[in-house]
Amino acid sequence: MIVITGGAGFIGSNLVRGLNARGEEDILVVDEFARGAGPDNLRGCAVLDCVDKSDFRSRVQRGDPGLRQLRAIVHQGACTNTLERDEQYLLENNFRYSMDLLRHCVDNRIPLIYASSAAVYGSGTDFRERPECEAPINLYGVSKKLFDDQVRECLPRSASQVAGLRYFNVYGPREEHKGKMASVAFHLNRQLQAEGRVKLFRGSGGFGDGEQRRDFVFVGDVVKVNLWFLDHAGKSGIFNVGTGRDRSFNDVAGNIIRWHGTGSIEYIPFPDELAGAYQNFTRADLYALRRAGYTDEFLTLEDGLRQYFDWQHAAQPQVAGCREES
């Protein structure tokens, strides 16, 4: 059985579909269902069961024998709010919960693949997976780095796989529930549909209006990397997951406008609350990932956005529900 935490969320639900597409259904989905997180993203998926995070974590903490023979834990569950200011909440959800899973996996020789974040690099311009390149500028990034540092200490003594995947700016289907933390592509598309225009920040960090640059990676590529590590249990470490290319927000907006065939760009003042806590530039260094053996190419921004908006156009309203199969 494969456990996917955060399995009803954005990347998690796409991972479930990726596993289903290759015939795998022995999947335990973990998410915060008790707090009202519905499994809408899992409509039509084939899984063994859906359980609440609190129940699952309790089973892990007490060493439930039923969780000692797992094929792998793919840990996507976390607080992903980069603006969260409650340090204890972030530590509980992004660090202590992850540490529970790390100890369980190492003790029972279960592969652990988990989501890290490019937020650990802060405002730096060197995106190698090395401690000297890491200087997070928000509490979310701090919480992710704290766990990565524990993984680094653990790796030499772990007899099983521990792989941290540092996601850059992921976009794609099934992110609607993320609200403010949904991707730039999602929000700009919504703005264009509602107002006939998209809003970008004026210049910041030495970049011109809308010229701040990020590494935008399609969720389908993120799924492929996760599945590759599932298939290569001998590969451990911390790895960037991005395209290796930086593109401007103007590029994103231009592609959205071209897809719709209409629209314009409005530049708005850079928010005071983001000053000093905003990444104006990211670009994944893929050397470690390529050295590990991952050779697939990543979609260009143009191709990824086209797939995303074609999916949105074709998608039907989702109905809550999770099909269980034994």
The residues assigned a catalytic role are: 140, 178
Checking DSSP bridges between strand 213-214 and strand 247-248, what pairing results, if any? antiparallel
CA 102 to mean position of chain CA atoms: 18
CA distance linking residue 159 with residue 203, whole number of Å: 48
The per-type count for the chain, helices as H runs and strands as E runs, is 10, 13
Do the beta carbons of residue 220 and residue 152 sit within 8 Å? no
Do the beta carbons of residue 30 and residue 4 sit within 8 Å? yes
Question: What letter would DSSP give residue 247?
Answer: E
Q: What is the DSSP string of 95-159?
A: IIHHHHHHHHHHHHT--EEEEEEGGGGTT-S--SSSGGG---SSHHHHHHHHHHHHHHHHGGG-S
Closest CA to 127 of 72, 173, 166, 87: 166
Planar angle of CA 138, 143, 148, nearest 5 degrees: 120
Closest CA to 196 of 115, 257, 269, 152: 257
CA 251 to mean position of chain CA atoms: 22
CA distance linking residue 260 with residue 9, whole number of Å: 27
Integer Rg of the chain from CA: 19
